[in-house]
């Protein structure tokens, strides 16, 4: 059976350039059946049937002369959204796999004030996620996080080099051996929620980087609500968060 690199098979099958096909695989948008194609250069049969799942359109939740709040789809980079909204600058970031509320500023004065709110932990950030295991009691995780940024960022609990990180977790429902949880963070370390939940034995479903063994199209984490300057911005839960299949 003939074999070829995945991105070349995809390019041929879908009439794309090799560069575009590789980019789609790298962005996590290409599937064979229910399995995500993760390695663009993996050797696959030339008759492999691919499916591309393009992200939803970017939905604007709120906007005025100072800012814009969007409901970020999963598998879209925060910087791609910044590039798509003229004259807007990110006030914070969400991981590519994370969906939900993302805030951008539109003028220098507002951006400076807003970034100061984030720095001084006056922004309330609430998330929902599906995690591995049965979680029945609320918990508070207060473990310092250190991030290594060589290549793909990776964070770990490190009492010596780590920076303060604080996460509150409350159970919402249980389905089989998975739990839906509400999360509030007062700090914003890289991969904070993912690292903290993995550390206490409840990795987020689909988060292979931090120990999840469950296959999923994405990491099941959603930024549900952000409160900034007493304004509340909310993003409805997407289908994969509303109910774990």
Interval 136-189: pLDDT, tens? 999 999 999 999 987 788 999 999 999 999 999 999 999 989 999 999 998 889
Instruction: Give residue limits of the domains in the chain.
Output: 3-52, 59-242
Centre a 10 Å sphere on the Cβ of residue 106 and count the other Cβ atoms it contains. 17
Tell which CATH classification among 3.40.50.360, 3.10.290.10, 1.10.1050.10, 1.10.10.60 matches the domain 3-52.
3.10.290.10
For 193-217, the pLDDT digits (tens) are: 999 999 999 999 999 999 999 988 8
Res. 56: pLDDT tops 70: no
Res. 59: pLDDT tops 90: no
User: How far apart (Å, rounded) are the C-alpha atoms in residues 155 and 146?
Assistant: 6
For 91-125, the pLDDT digits (tens) are: 999 998 999 999 999 999 999 999 999 989 899 99
What is the model's pLDDT at position 188? Answer: 85
Q: Tokens in use for 27? A: 């962005």
User: Confidence band (pLDDT; 50, 70, 90) for 55?
Assistant: low
Look at residue 131 and give its three-state secondary structure: strand
3-52 and 59-242 share one fold:
no
User: How far apart (Å, rounded) are the C-alpha atoms in residues 241 and 30?
Assistant: 20
Tell which CATH classification among 3.40.50.1360, 3.10.20.30, 3.30.2350.10, 3.40.225.10 matches the domain 59-242.
3.30.2350.10
What is the model's pLDDT at position 187? Answer: 86
Average pLDDT, the chain: 90
Our separate counts of H helices and E strands in the chain read 6, 17
- CA quadruple 174, 134, 152, 95: dihedral sign: positive
List 47, 77, 95, 97, catalytic entry: 95
Q: Do 141 and 199 form a contact (C-beta atoms < 8 A)?
A: yes
Classify residue 99 by burial, with Cβ atoms within 10 Å: 0-12, 13-18, 19+.
Answer: buried
Among this protein's residues, is 95 annotated catalytic?
yes
User: How far apart (Å, rounded) are the C-alpha atoms in residues 12 and 117?
Assistant: 49
Q: Do 181 and 170 form a contact (C-beta atoms < 8 A)?
A: yes
């Amino acid at each position: 059976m003939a074999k070829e690199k995945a991105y070349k098979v995809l390019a041929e099958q879908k009439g794309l350039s090799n560069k575009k096909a590789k980019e789609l695989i790298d962005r996590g948008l290409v599937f064979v059946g229910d399995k995500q194609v993760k390695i663009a250069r993996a050797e696959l049969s030339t008759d492999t049937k691919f499916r591309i799942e393009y992200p939803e359109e970017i939905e604007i939740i709120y906007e005025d002369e100072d800012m814009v709040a969007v409901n970020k789809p999963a598998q879209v980079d925060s910087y791609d959204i910044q590039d798509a909204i003229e004259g807007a600058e990110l006030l914070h970031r969400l991981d590519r796999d994370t969906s939900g509320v993302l805030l951008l500023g539109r003028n220098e004065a507002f951006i400076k004030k807003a970034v100061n709110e984030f720095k001084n932990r006056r922004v309330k950030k609430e998330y929902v996620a599906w995690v591995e295991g049965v979680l029945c009691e609320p918990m508070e995780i207060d473990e310092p996080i250190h991030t290594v940024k060589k290549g793909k960022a990776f964070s770990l609990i490190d009492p010596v080099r780590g920076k303060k990180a604080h996460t509150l977790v409350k159970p919402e429902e249980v389905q089989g051996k998975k739990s839906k949880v509400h999360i509030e963070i007062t700090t914003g370390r890289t991969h904070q929620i993912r690292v903290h939940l993995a550390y206490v034995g409840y990795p987020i479903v689909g988060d292979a980087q931090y120990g999840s063994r469950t296959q999923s199209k994405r990491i099941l984490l959603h930024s549900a609500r952000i409160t900034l300057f007493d304004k509340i911005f909310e993003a409805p839960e997407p289908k994969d968060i509303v109910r774990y299949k």
